[in-house]
Amino acid sequence: MKPTLALKVSFVAALVATFLLYLFAGRYPRPGFTNPASLFSDETARRIFFSIRLPRALGAILLGAVLGGSGAAFQTIFGNPLVDAGFLGVSQGAAFGAAAALVAGSLPIVKAMLPAFAINAFVSFASFVMALAALGASLALSKRFKFGGQVLRLILAGLAVSAFFSSLLAAVKYVADPLSQLPDIVFWTMGSLTAMGWQRFWTIAPVSLFSLGFLFLMRWRATLLSLDDEVSRSMGLRPEIERAAIAVIAATGVAAVTAACGIVSWIGLVVPQVARIYAGSDGRNSIPLSMAGGAIFALAADGIARTLFPGELPLGIVTALLGAIAFAILLASRSTEMAR
């Protein structure tokens, strides 16, 4: 029942192997793998390795772990394998915040107030705030709805809030300068780890690690919340409060990484399905393995995004492409964890 030791070891080994491959793969001094010896002899190679690839690799691990872990947590607490953090409006809220900040950032008055290096931080901050605002709006709206149970109300509220922020995003795109601002907005919504340096890594690490730690500790509790509310209540849980607490903390982690990296889709949806196939549905196993699997997937996808072509591909394109193919192969070839 428990994932065997071999399964745990294979996930850890795959993570370490992907991490090392990621660190040594690149285009300096020529496309291919960096010779480890050059880290001792070549100052530029050392700088690329420690100042660019290492924080970016760690950022990819955080991004993937947060998206995979929160996806697994959301699917478990809502007893629905087809949800992730995006369905509470977090992604659309983050996208609107970033787009609005990108447009506002080029206004003369804002330019005068903010130094050039602070514009990126301003975009991330606005994105994080709007992601949380969207989450708050979804939760508040779901409490106002007088239709359905808690899960249905949350999904419906998330749909409405997502649509609301999508339309605001479209409005911002419409008024954005098509030559200078619109490409930035489109690029942001495709997701990327290009700007992930040490500073950005340390900005997202505390919130991400807190969210990951909380989800890890609550992984069995999340499993209990997958049962019908009247059952979990009869076991002494307070399902509405506990589900909301897990959803808010999972979504806060997603808001933090999305603010830093843009919208990276499919990891939160696909990775938990794979984890459940290998480790079973119990959150004690599926949530930690989704974190590890998400980290592996994000590392691999970003490795491909930055090395396959001379110019970088946006990460979101690669995750969606790989995710869609993996999804199709998985569902066609393996039995899933869906029940009666």
Interaction site with another protein (CB under 8 A): 1, 76, 79-81, 217-221, 223-224, 226-228, 230-238, 242, 276, 280-282, 284, 337-340
Minimum distance from CB of 282 to another protein (Å)? 5
Task: Return the SS3 of 285.
Answer: helix
Q: Which is nearer to another protein, 30 or 340 (CB)?
A: 340
Q: Which is nearer to another protein, 184 or 282 (CB)?
A: 282
Q: CB 259 → another protein: shortest distance, Å?
A: 28
Q: How far is the CB of 25 from another protein (least distance, A)?
A: 37
Per the rule left: phi > 0, alpha: psi between -120 and 50, beta: everything else, 266 is left
User: Which stretch of DSSP H or E encloses residue 26?
Assistant: strand 25-26
Are 125 and 293 in contact by the 8 Å Cβ rule? The answer is: no
Give the total residue count for the chain.
Answer: 340
CB of 1 to another protein, least distance (A): 5
Distances (CA, A) of 280 to 3, 4, 95, 284: 8, 11, 34, 9
Measure Cα distances from 38 to 10, 33, 307 in Å: 30, 11, 19
**Token digits for 139?**
């939760």
Q: Give min distance, CB of 83 to another protein, in A.
A: 12
Please, what is the minimum distance in Å from the beta carbon of residue 78 to another protein? 8
- State the burial class of residue 100 (Cβ atoms within 10 Å of its Cβ: 0-12, 13-18, 19+): buried
- Residue with smaller CB distance to another protein, 119 or 227: 227
Which of residues 112 and 338 has its CB atom nearest to another protein in the complex?
A: 338
Least distance to another protein, CB of residue 226, Å:
4
Closer by beta carbon to another protein, 1 or else 179 = 1
Whole-angstrom CA distances from 277 to 72, 140, 280, 333, 336 are: 12, 35, 6, 11, 6
Report the greatest alpha carbon distance in the chain.
68
- CB closer to another protein, 44 vs 80: 80
* 178/236 with CB nearer another protein: 236
